[in-house]
Amino acid sequence: MSGQAEGTTTAPAPAGGARATSPARRFRVTTPILLLGGVGLVVLLSAVRIVTGASDITSGGTVAAALGLAVPIGLAALGGLWSERAGVVNIGLEGMMVLGTWFGAWGALQFHSPWAGVVAGAVGGALGGAIHAVATVTFGVDHIISGVAINIVGVGFTQYLSKLVFEKMPGGGTKNSPQLPEMGRLSVTFIDGPLRTLEAKQWFLLSDFAGILRGLTQGVSWFTILAILLVPLSYYILWRTAFGLRLRSCGERPVAAESLGVNVYLYKWAAVVVSGLLAGLGGAFLSIVAAGIYRDGQTGGRGYIGLAAMIFGNWRPGGLAGGAALFGYTDALQLRQGGVSVHALLLVVALLLAAMAVYQLVRQSRTVAALITAGCAALVFVVFMMTDTVPEQFTTFTPHLTTLLVLSLASQRLRMPAADGIPYRRGQTT
Amino acid sequence: MLMAAAACGGNDDSTSTATSEASSSAAPAGAALKVGLAYDIGGRGDGSFNDAAARGLDKAVAELKADKKELEAAAGETDAQKEERLRLLASNGYNPVIAVGFAYSESLKKVAPEFPDVKFAIVDDDAATGANISNLVFAEEQGSFLVGVAAALKSEKGSVGFVGGVDVPLIHKFQAGFEAGAKAVKPDIKLQSKYLTQPPDFGGFNDPAKGKTAAQGMFDSGADVVYQAAGGSGSGVFEAAKAAGAMAVGVDSDQAALPAYADVKDVIITSMIKKIDVAVFDFLKHAADGTVQSGKTVYDLKADGVGYSTTGGKIDDITSKIDEYKQKIISGEITVPSS
C-alpha cells in the first residue's frame, strides 16, 4: 500500500504541482524493497542480539508488546490522516481519544461486552469529531483553536461523566472505572510450542524470526486485528474510490473541487467525523485491551504522538503505520528491559548510520554529508562501547528520540495536503 | 500522582515548637470540625493513596462529627490551580485543611502564611514548613522492606522486580526498602526495576498499559514476583501477573481487599500498607482537641504507620519470619536504606 508515489493530486496544478517533488526521491519504495528492508533489519537486529546478548530485542514478548503499544497511536494517526487529507488539521485527536477511553469503558460495562465498548468508544470519538467539524467546517473557526478546545473539553467532560456513572459502580471511582470485561484473543496454538522452543535456542536469525512470529500470532486481541485491517481499508477508500478522491481534493484545492461540483463542506464533515471515530477507537483500545480499566488521563499524550506518526508517515497510511510501529517497538523495548535493550539499540543505530554514510558516499557522492554521518556513527559506537547500560533517565524517552531522529532525517521529503489547515468558506475564489 | 519529593529533607529539626494556642480561636468548643481535604491526582476511588486518605477522613466524619469538603486535582494542572484549591477551602472557613500528596508542597508554602489561623497538614512532604503546617510523612522503606522479605521468600525462581510510577525520590524509598528486604533473605536474588516515566511527566502514575508492559517484561525475563509503587498504573502490573500466572505485591492500601481489584486479587500476595488513614485521622483528632503540632511527624513501623497486609492468606506461612524482621527494624538492629 505504500508502494505508490506521492498522493495522486486531482487539482490541475498549473504551478508546478505535487509531482514536481518526485525527482527529490532517489528511489521508489516498492514492495520488494520494503520486504528486503524488513528482512535486512531482522538480520541486523539478530546480529546485534548475538553480539550484545540483549535477548529481549526480538523476543515474542517484545513484539507482542510493541503491537499493543502501536495500535492506539496508529489509530490516532489514521484519524489524523482522514481529517488532514480533507484539509482539516486535527490537533483534537487527544481529546477524541480521551472520549474514546471513557465511552469504550462505559459501553463495555453497560452492555457486559467489550465489543459494545468498541462501538461506544467509536461513537464517543465521532462525537468529538462532530464538534470539531461544526467549529472548523461549518463556522470556519481556526483549526488549532477548535482542536485545543476539544482536548480540554474532552478531559473535563469525561471527568464529569465518571462522577455521574463510575462512582456508583462497585470498584469504580471518580477517576477510574471498575475492571472491564476482557476481549477475546487469537492464538495460533499449534505453532506456539515449536516457536517457543526455537526462540529459546538463541540461534542466529532463526530464533529471531520465531520470536517475531510468536509475538504476532499468540494472544493477539481481535481489536488489534481490526485496527490493523483499518490501515489498508483507509488506503483503499481514500486512494481507490471516487469518494476518497473527492475527499482528498478538498484537502488539496477546495475551490477547484467545489467548482467541479464536490460538496466540500459535506466531505470535510465526513472526514472529520471519521477522524474522531478512529481516534475514539484508539482510546477504546487503550481502556479495553491495553489497560483493562478506564483511568482519567490514561491517554498520556498518545493523540499527539499519533499526529506525529502521521506526519512521520508523510500523510500516507503505510507510512503512519510504520511510524506507529517504530514508536511502539522502541517503547516496548524501553519499558521491558530498558537499560540493556536500549543499549543494544545504540549499536543498531551506529551500524545504520555507518551504512547510510557509505550510501551517501558511493551512490550520491555527497562527501561532506557522508563524513558527518560517519562521524555520528562513530560517536554512537563509542558511547556504546564505553557503557554497559543506558541510564533510566534516557531510556524513557527513547521512543520520542527515535521518532524525532527519523523525522528530522526524512523531513525534506514530506509533503502535506496543499490546503491543509486553511479554513475554507463556500464561494471563496482563491 | 501521589508521593515524592521527600528528598529535599534536611529540616528534621524544624520541630518548630508549635503555637497550638491559636487553634482554639478557630474552632469554638462543641462546634463541629470543618475539614477541608484536597486530593492529589487520582482522587477518591483510586484504590490506593487517595483512598487511604479518604478513609481517615470518613472515620473522622463519623467519630468526630466533622463536616467535610473534598476537592480533587486534575491531571496536568498547574501549581496555581492547587493554590486556588487550598485558598478556596481555607477562605470558606474550613479548618483544618489537609493537602494529600507532595504535589501540594509549593502551593502550600505560599498559601499557608495567608491564613495564619488555619491549621494545614500535608501528606508525604516535609519541604513545606511553617508555624501552621503539619507534615505527615511515612517510612515507606521500612514497610517495603517487609514486603521485599515476603517477595523473596515466595519467589521460586529467585528473581523479583519493582515497577515505580515516576522516577522521584519518594518512590526510590519504596525501591530501596524492597530490594534491601529481598536481599536480606536471599543475598544472590536477581533484582529488576523500572520507572514508567521521568518527572515532570507524572503520567506514570496513571498509565496501566505501561505498567502492564513493564511487568510483562520482568515476568518474561524470569521474575515471578513484582512489587508496584505506581499508583493507578498498578492495575496493569496486576493484570500482567495474572496473565503470566505470577505474583504481585500491592502498595499503599490493602489492595487485595479493594473491590477495584476483585478480578486480580488472587495474584496479590500482600500489600505494603501506608496508613495514611491513621495519619489523617490522628491529625484531625488533634485538631478537634486543639493539640495540633506543626512540623514533621514520621509514621514508621514503630508507630505502626506502615506495615503489610495478609488478606487472601497467601503469606500466612511466612508471617512469623516477616515479623522477625519487623522486630529487628523496630529495635534498630536493621537500618533500612531509604535511597
Tens-digit pLDDT profile for residues A271-291: 999 999 999 999 999 999 999
First to last CA, chain B: 20
In-domain check, residue B313: yes
Whether residue A301 and residue B258 make contact (CB cut-off 8 A), yes or no, is no
- pLDDT tens by residue, chain B, 339 residues: 333 433 333 333 333 333 333 333 444 444 678 999 999 877 777 767 788 899 999 999 999 888 899 998 877 788 899 999 999 999 999 989 999 988 899 999 999 999 999 999 999 988 888 899 999 999 999 999 999 999 999 999 999 999 999 998 889 999 999 999 999 999 999 999 999 998 888 888 889 999 999 999 999 989 999 999 998 899 999 999 999 999 999 998 888 988 888 889 999 999 999 999 999 999 999 988 888 888 999 999 998 899 999 998 899 999 999 999 999 999 999 999 988
In-domain check, residue B226: yes
In terms of Cα–Cα distance, which of A244, A228, A319, A315 is closest to A29? A319
What is the count of structural domains for chain B? 2
Q: Same domain for B264 and B284?
A: no
Residue B32: what pLDDT? 77
Contacts of B216 in chain A (CB under 8 A): 61, 65, 336
On the CB side of A34, CA atoms within 13 Å amount to 11
In-domain check, residue B186: yes
Q: Same domain for B178 and B317?
A: yes
Q: Which residue of A has its CA nearest to B232?
A: A295
Measured in angstroms, the CA of A178 and the nearest CA of chain B are apart by 6
In-domain check, residue B337: no
B190 and B158 Cβ atoms separated by less than 8 Å = yes
Whether residue B264 and residue A290 make contact (CB cut-off 8 A), yes or no, is no
For chains A and B, count residue pairs whose Cβ atoms are closer than 8 Å. Answer: 134
In whole angstroms, what is the distance from residue B102 CA to residue B128 CA? 9
What is the longest distance spanned by two Cα atoms in chain A? 68
Contacts of B195 in chain A (CB under 8 A): 392, 396
Q: Same domain for B254 and B281?
A: no
Peptide bond into B200 cis (omega under 30): yes
Contacts of B258 in chain A (CB under 8 A): 171
Please give the DSSP secondary-structure letter assigned to residue B67: E
pLDDT tens per residue across span A2-20: 444 444 444 444 444 444 4
Residue A338 corresponds to which cell in the numbers above? 530498558
Q: Say yes or no: ipTM exceeds 0.95.
A: no
pLDDT at A404 over 60: yes
In terms of Cα–Cα distance, which of A74, A106, A69 is closest to A278? A74
pLDDT tens per residue across span B272-289: 999 999 999 999 999 888
Looking at this protein, which amino acid is placed at residue A355? Answer: A
Strands (E), B27-72: 34-38, 67-71
Q: Same domain for B157 and B268?
A: yes
Q: Same domain for B317 and B191?
A: yes
Measured in angstroms, the CA of A177 and the nearest CA of chain B are apart by 8
Contacts of B264 in chain A (CB under 8 A): 179
In whole angstroms, what is the distance from residue A342 CA to residue A334 CA? 6
Contacts of A290 in chain B (CB under 8 A): 208-209, 212
Contacts of A166 in chain B (CB under 8 A): 45
Q: Which domain holds residue B95?
A: 6-139+276-299
Among the partner-chain residues B194, B220, B260, the one whose CB lies closest to the CB of A178 is B260
pLDDT at A123 over 90: yes
In-domain check, residue B327: yes
**Domain covering A58-334, topology:** ABC transporter involved in vitamin B12 uptake, BtuC (1.10.3470)
In whole angstroms, what is the distance from residue B132 CA to residue B115 CA? 9
Instruction: Say which CATH number the domain at B213 has.
Output: 3.40.50.2300
Q: Same domain for B208 and B249?
A: yes
Q: Same domain for B91 and B236?
A: no
In-domain check, residue B1: no
pLDDT tens per residue across span A316-361: 999 999 999 999 999 999 999 888 899 999 999 899 889 889 988 8
A220: left (phi over 0), alpha (psi -120 to 50) or beta: beta
Whether residue A335 and residue B220 make contact (CB cut-off 8 A), yes or no, is no
Q: Same domain for B181 and B62?
A: no
In whole angstroms, what is the distance from residue A127 CA to residue A79 CA? 13
Residues 6+ apart with CB under 8 A from B220: A56, A59, A61, A336, B244
Residues 6+ apart with CB under 8 A from B320: none
pLDDT tens per residue across span A243-276: 999 999 999 999 999 999 999 999 999 999 999 9
Substitution target from A286, A298, A389 for chain B, most B beta carbons within 10 A: A298
In whole angstroms, what is the distance from residue A239 CA to residue A249 CA? 11
Whether residue B236 and residue A291 make contact (CB cut-off 8 A), yes or no, is yes
Average pLDDT over residues A104-118: 95
A131 and A139 Cβ atoms separated by less than 8 Å = no
In terms of Cα–Cα distance, which of B246, B237, B197 is closest to B215? B237
Residues 6+ apart with CB under 8 A from B181: B144, B145, B146, B147, B148, B149, B150, B151, B152, B325, B336
Q: Same domain for B257 and B280?
A: no
A63 and A211 Cβ atoms separated by less than 8 Å = yes
Contacts of B198 in chain A (CB under 8 A): 392-393, 396-397
**For all residues of chain A together, what is the average pLDDT?**
88
Measured in angstroms, the CA of A337 and the nearest CA of chain B are apart by 6
Contacts of A293 in chain B (CB under 8 A): 208, 235
Residue B158: what pLDDT? 93
Measured in angstroms, the CA of A164 and the nearest CA of chain B are apart by 14
Whether residue A396 and residue B263 make contact (CB cut-off 8 A), yes or no, is no
Whether residue A179 and residue B260 make contact (CB cut-off 8 A), yes or no, is yes
Among the partner-chain residues A174, A301, A335, the one whose CB lies closest to the CB of B217 is A335
Whether residue B197 and residue A335 make contact (CB cut-off 8 A), yes or no, is no
B253 and B47 Cβ atoms separated by less than 8 Å = yes
Whether residue B198 and residue A159 make contact (CB cut-off 8 A), yes or no, is no
Substitution target from A176, A220, A224, A394 for chain B, most B beta carbons within 10 A: A176
Residues 6+ apart with CB under 8 A from A148: A91, A92
Chain B residues touching chain A at CB-CB below 8 Å: 41-47, 51, 72, 74-76, 167, 194-198, 203, 206-210, 212-214, 216-218, 220-221, 232, 235-236, 239, 258-264
> pLDDT grade, residue A412 (50/70/90)?
low
Contacts of A297 in chain B (CB under 8 A): 41, 75-76, 203, 206
SS3 category, A61 = helix
Contacts of A159 in chain B (CB under 8 A): 74
In whole angstroms, what is the distance from residue B290 CA to residue B297 CA? 17
- Give Cα separations from A422 to A88, A96, A251, A413, A415 (angstroms): 7, 21, 9, 21, 15
pLDDT tens per residue across span A280-320: 999 999 999 999 999 988 998 999 999 999 998 899 999 99
In terms of Cα–Cα distance, which of A350, A355, A410 is closest to A384? A350
Residue A95 corresponds to which cell in the numbers above? 481529546
B247 and B154 Cβ atoms separated by less than 8 Å = yes
Q: What phi and psi values does residue A179 have, to the nearest 5 degrees?
A: -60, 140
Residue B271: what pLDDT? 94
Looking at this protein, which amino acid is placed at residue A202? Answer: Q
Give the sign of the dihedral formed by CA A77, CA A344, CA B192, CA B226. Answer: positive
pLDDT tens per residue across span A181-214: 988 888 888 888 888 888 888 888 889 999 999 9
Q: Same domain for B241 and B181?
A: yes
Looking at this protein, which amino acid is placed at residue B269? Answer: I
Q: Which residue of B has its CA nearest to A59?
A: B220
A301: left (phi over 0), alpha (psi -120 to 50) or beta: left
Q: Same domain for B192 and B96?
A: no
Residue A413: what pLDDT? 76
Q: Which residue of B has its CA nearest to A299?
A: B207
SS3 category, A216 = helix
Contacts of A148 in chain B (CB under 8 A): none
In-domain check, residue B339: no
- Give Cα separations from B293 to B18, B56, B100, B133, B258 (angstroms): 6, 18, 18, 8, 33
In terms of Cα–Cα distance, which of A223, A91, A70 is closest to A146? A91
B119 and B27 Cβ atoms separated by less than 8 Å = no
In-domain check, residue B210: yes
Give the sign of the dihedral formed by CA A45, CA A47, CA A48, CA A53. Answer: positive
Q: Same domain for B313 and B195?
A: yes
Measured in angstroms, the CA of A95 and the nearest CA of chain B are apart by 13
Contacts of B217 in chain A (CB under 8 A): 56, 61-62, 65, 332, 335-337
DSSP string, B237-277: HHHHHHHHT-EEEEEES-GGGSGGGGGGGGGEEEEEEE-HH
pLDDT at A125 over 80: yes
Whether residue A171 and residue B258 make contact (CB cut-off 8 A), yes or no, is yes
